[in-house]
DNA sequence: TTGAAAGCGCTAACAG
DNA sequence: CTGTTAGCGCTTTCAA
């Protein structure tokens, strides 16, 4: 590797600036114990020599890496992309670099992955939608390693996390559907291992209760947030003798798939059946009819996650709990007032 | 740092296995000079002790960082996400880490950014859709720094790059529209500073020529790949006395926006007007009507970019040129055969 | 086939 | 305020 040849190290800088390399190290780390004049001279030399501190060496020696790790399940839906955008913005402003890891990539040794990172590769970790966070959380809390969870509903542990008001969002959305006149609402759940999915389901149920609408088990389809579930779930509903007049999916991806199913059955949205999503991913506004949905402030969640991490970095002993950002219903074209006919003669509509 | 306490190192493994730590290192690196029996014993010990090699130490000692940098303009459209997915897969398999940089983040000092990375932060760089690559390419080629461009049509320089057959894709797509009977086709270009955009335009023109269809300047709208351009461009076309019967947008995002414009005018897709996109981003198949488009193998482009980078890393002197992956037309619902009526009485259709 | 020794570039005490 | 001295955990010669 001839790289070694032309790489400038703190030793080079020290020699050039006429100081010991220890002093150079201090300058790099913004140590106060450096005469301003000396510091300036060193900085100037670094600039002139085009010096860049070696990451691995720094972390090996036990210092800061100025890098934070981001663990995401994948980059598929744009959902994650929004969150990353927020994180990225904050990190950039703060002068941190971003190391991206998709857990998909190391599915088997996920935990080992984390423990590796925890060993100094990065200064902190942001875990987006962690699948089985209890594995990590143990290690990290124990080692007092800075981390923040994004969009994960605590499994009981009490740790820094950013989420949104899933329960309230689902509650409000359901209420809205009821106000439109819908009484038979089919609900497609997310992956119930995730707290967020459970909360959405509970919000839905609570709203029915509040409105004194009976909860029919047949009108709840258990999905996993995956596209196919939206499709299958919707078909299940539509094949009932008395199908629902509205379908509320636990995320936009499933809602979109549900729309497909509805259309295949020859029904119109929203005239014959209303569709409600959750998340407000970028596509939601682009499709036709555009999707009425519960908006999670994804980008903002990312930003705040980063901010919280910075705060932990600064005050390790400060207590950080879960932060919930408000969700918001975004009215679009996929929902509409229930029509009388629709209520009474579902079959007529079915084959209009 | 009490981390030190419970960390397992090669020294620990060596002690446990009764060998020198040099031997353990050899095992880690799959060095042939280890007696199978010894290797097995060491491996067993590593497993038992839950040993994980320290990345930073390895790279510090080896002069490599085992990290590659990825520079992307943003994470907005899912377009980039697909490419990253491909890159990420390969990197993971090869044991590399991914450092993600969005140029948006440091718009002003883009070039400085790169030169920073080039100095040892990463072993190589993948630049996706670089905006003004000539700035970097100079530095990098000069320093013989490993890099690969993705989806950038050379600005004359001869360097490792992955792209797709933009010209051919546009040519074929146009031909297809012509075969459907369309003779008046509106074309919305991409940002013509990008070679890919130019190639698509040229492919379109060539197809018209081949089919002896006159090229009307009014039927070419100069866009920038941004959503709004699709909308504006389509409106421009639709307001003509004799509007086109098909619109071919240089990317899917613009095509989707064009669909909106078309619908706002009260026209149906594809009955009244056909829409063709380019890229095949994930959304293309999700919208209704689903979008007929020219597929770029984005994920594969990412994979190959990584592979090429690895090859450069291994054989720095090997010559690497641009690789073009084939595009492919994906037939969906947004295009259809031209109807006689549509051809002759555009106004009638306009207000059906 | 294995062991020993010399760093990789930097941080973090510890002296002065 | 600054220099010196140990390592951090591993790869790589160089001997044996």
- Quickly list H helices, chain B: 10-17, 21-28, 36-49, 55-62, 79-94, 110-116, 133-143, 166-179, 195-210, 227-238, 252-264, 283-286, 298-314, 340-344, 346-350
Distance (Å, whole) CA B198 – CA B218: 17
CATH entry, A67-164+298-325, from 3.30.1780.10, 3.40.50.2300, 3.30.70.60, 3.20.20.30 = 3.40.50.2300
Residue with tokens 């220890």: A22
- Does the pLDDT at position B89 exceed 80? yes
The domain made up of B166-296+331-351 is a member of CATH 3.40.50.2300:
yes
- Quickly list H helices, chain A: 3-6, 10-17, 21-28, 36-49, 55-61, 79-94, 110-116, 133-143, 166-179, 195-210, 227-238, 252-264, 283-286, 298-314, 340-344, 346-350
Sequence ranges of the domains in chain A:
2-53, 67-164+298-325, 166-296+331-351
Q: Do A75 and B64 touch (CB under 8 A)?
A: no
Contacts of A131 (CB under 8 A, 6+ apart): A73, A103, A110
* Cβ B35 to strand C below 7 Å: yes
For residue A209, the model assigns a pLDDT of: 98
Q: Do A81 and B84 touch (CB under 8 A)?
A: no
Nearest beta carbon to residue B256 from set A59, A78, A286: A286
Identify the residue with better confidence: B165 or A51. Answer: B165
* Cβ A38 to strand D below 7 Å: yes
The CA–C1' separation of B31 and C5, in angstroms, is 19
Provide, as residue numbers in chain A, all residues whose Cβ is less than 8 Å from the Cβ of B119: 7, 50, 52
Average pLDDT of the residues in A271-289: 90
Average pLDDT of the residues in B99-119: 64
Query: How much is the CA Rg of chain A, to the nearest whole Å?
Result: 26
Tens digits of residue pLDDT in B265-306: 999 999 999 999 999 988 888 777 899 999 999 999 999 999
Closest CA to A146 of A311, A322, A300: A311
Tens digits of residue pLDDT in A322-332: 899 999 999 99
**In the complex, which nucleotide's C1' lies nearest to the CA atom of residue A60?**
D8
- Does the pLDDT at position A315 exceed 90? no
**Confidence at A50, pLDDT banded by 50, 70, 90:** confident
Q: Do domains A2-53 and A67-164+298-325 have the same CATH topology?
A: no
Distance (Å, whole) CA B130 – CA B152: 7
**In the complex, which nucleotide's C1' lies nearest to the CA atom of residue B20?**
C3
Provide, as residue numbers in chain A, all residues whose Cβ is less than 8 Å from the Cβ of B76: 81, 85, 282
**Confidence at A2, pLDDT banded by 50, 70, 90:** very low
Provide, as residue numbers in chain A, all residues whose Cβ is less than 8 Å from the Cβ of B288: 259-260, 263, 287-288
Instruction: Name the DSSP class of B296.
Output: P
Q: How far is B165 from chain A (nearest CA, A)?
A: 24
- Cα nearest neighbour of A258 on chain B: B286
Provide, as residue numbers in chain B, all residues whose Cβ is less than 8 Å from the Cβ of A77: 78, 282
- Does the pLDDT at position A113 exceed 90? no
For residue B252, the model assigns a pLDDT of: 95
Provide, as residue numbers in chain A, all residues whose Cβ is less than 8 Å from the Cβ of B101: 97-98
DSSP string of A247-275, one letter each residue:
EEESSHHHHHHHHHHHHHTT--TTTT-EE
For residue A25, the model assigns a pLDDT of: 92
Q: In what order do the strands lie in the sheet with B67-72?
A: A322-325, A161-164, A147-150, A124-128, A67-72, A97-102, B97-102, B67-72, B124-128, B147-150, B161-164, B322-325
The CA–C1' separation of B124 and D11, in angstroms, is 20
User: Considering only A268-277, A334-343, B171-180, B326-335, which range has the smallest mean pLDDT?
Assistant: A334-343
The CA–C1' separation of B301 and D12, in angstroms, is 36
CB A265 within 8 A of CB A238: yes
Q: Strand C: which bases are under 7 Å from protein Cβ?
A: 1-13
Contacts of B288 (CB under 8 A, 6+ apart): A259, A260, A263, A287, A288, B333
- Cα nearest neighbour of B78 on chain A: A78
Length in residues, chain A: 352
The number of beta carbons lying within 10 Å of the beta carbon of residue B73 is 17
For residue A173, the model assigns a pLDDT of: 98
User: Considering only A86-95, A167-176, A246-255, B214-223, which range has the smallest mean pLDDT?
Assistant: A86-95
Residue with tokens 């979109």: A256
Query: How much is the CA Rg of chain B, to the nearest whole Å?
Result: 26
CB B245 within 8 A of CB B217: no
**In the complex, which nucleotide's C1' lies nearest to the CA atom of residue A8?**
C9
- Does the pLDDT at position A3 exceed 80? no
Provide, as residue numbers in chain B, all residues whose Cβ is less than 8 Å from the Cβ of A256: 286
User: Considering only A280-294, A314-328, B121-135, B198-212, which range has the smallest mean pLDDT?
Assistant: B121-135
Distance (Å, whole) CA B92 – CA B81: 16
3-state secondary structure of A128: strand
* Cβ B307 to strand D below 7 Å: no
| Burial of B237 from C-beta contacts in 10 A (0-12 / 13-18 / 19+) | buried
Q: Which CATH architecture has domain A2-53?
A: Orthogonal Bundle (1.10)
Q: Do A100 and B78 touch (CB under 8 A)?
A: no
Q: How far is B69 from chain A (nearest CA, A)?
A: 9
Distance (Å, whole) CA B311 – CA B87: 14
Q: How far is A313 from chain B (nearest CA, A)?
A: 15
Distance (Å, whole) CA A76 – CA A69: 19
* Cβ B32 to strand C below 7 Å: yes
CA dihedral B138, B141, B146, B148 (to 10 degrees): 60
- Does the pLDDT at position A246 exceed 50? yes
- Does the pLDDT at position A109 exceed 60? no
The CA-based diameter of chain B, rounded to the nearest angstrom, is 89
Residues 53-72 of B with CB under 7 A from strand C: 57, 60-61, 63
Tens digits of residue pLDDT in B335-352: 999 986 676 655 544 443
Tens digits of residue pLDDT in A115-154: 666 666 788 999 987 776 777 777 778 778 899 999 776 5
DSSP string of B226-288, one letter each residue:
-HHHHHHHHHHHHTSSS--SEEEESSHHHHHHHHHHHHHTT--TTTT-EEEEEE--THHHHSS
The CA–C1' separation of B62 and C6, in angstroms, is 14
Average pLDDT of the residues in A156-161: 77
């Amino acid at each position: 590797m001839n790289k070694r040849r032309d790489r400038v190290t703190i030793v080079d800088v020290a020699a050039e600036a006429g100081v010991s390399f220890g002093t150079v190290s201090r300058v790099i780390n913004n140590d106060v114990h450096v005469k301003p004049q000396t510091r300036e001279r060193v900085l100037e030399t670094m600039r002139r020599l085009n010096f860049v501190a070696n990451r691995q060496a720094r972390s090996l020696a036990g210092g800061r890496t100025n890098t934070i790790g981001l663990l995401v399940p994948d980059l598929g839906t744009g959902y994650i992309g929004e969150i990353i955008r927020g994180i990225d913005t904050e990190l950039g402003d703060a002068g941190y670099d971003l190391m991206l890891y998709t857990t998909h990539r190391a599915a088997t040794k996920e935990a080992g992955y984390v423990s590796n990172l925890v060993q100094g590769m990065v200064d902190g970790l942001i875990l987006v939608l962690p699948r089985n966070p209890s594995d990590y959380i143990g290690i990290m809390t124990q080692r007092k390693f800075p981390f923040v969870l994004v969009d994960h509903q605590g499994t009981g542990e009490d740790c820094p996390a950013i989420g949104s008001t899933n329960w309230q969002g689902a509650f409000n959305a359901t209420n809205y559907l009821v106000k439109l006149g819908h009484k038979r609402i089919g609900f497609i759940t997310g992956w119930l291992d995730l707290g967020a999915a459970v909360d959405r389901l509970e919000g839905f149920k609570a709203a029915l209760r509040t409105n004194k609408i009976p909860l029919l088990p047949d009108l709840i389809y258990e999905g996993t947030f995956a596209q196919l579930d939206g499709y299958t779930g919707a078909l299940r509903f539509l094949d009932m003798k008395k199908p629902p007049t509205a379908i509320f999916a636990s995320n936009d991806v499933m809602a979109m798939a549900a729309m497909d199913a509805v259309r295949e059955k020859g029904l119109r949205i929203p005239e014959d059946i209303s569709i409600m999503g959750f998340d407000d991913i970028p596509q939601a506004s682009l499709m036709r009819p555009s999707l009425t949905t519960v908006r999670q402030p994804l980008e903002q969640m990312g930003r705040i996650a980063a901010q919280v991490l910075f705060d932990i970095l600064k005050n390790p002993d400060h207590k950080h709990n879960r932060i919930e950002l408000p969700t918001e219903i975004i009215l679009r074209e996929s929902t509409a007032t229930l029509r009388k006919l629709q209520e009474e003669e579902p079959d007529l509509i079915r084959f209009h």
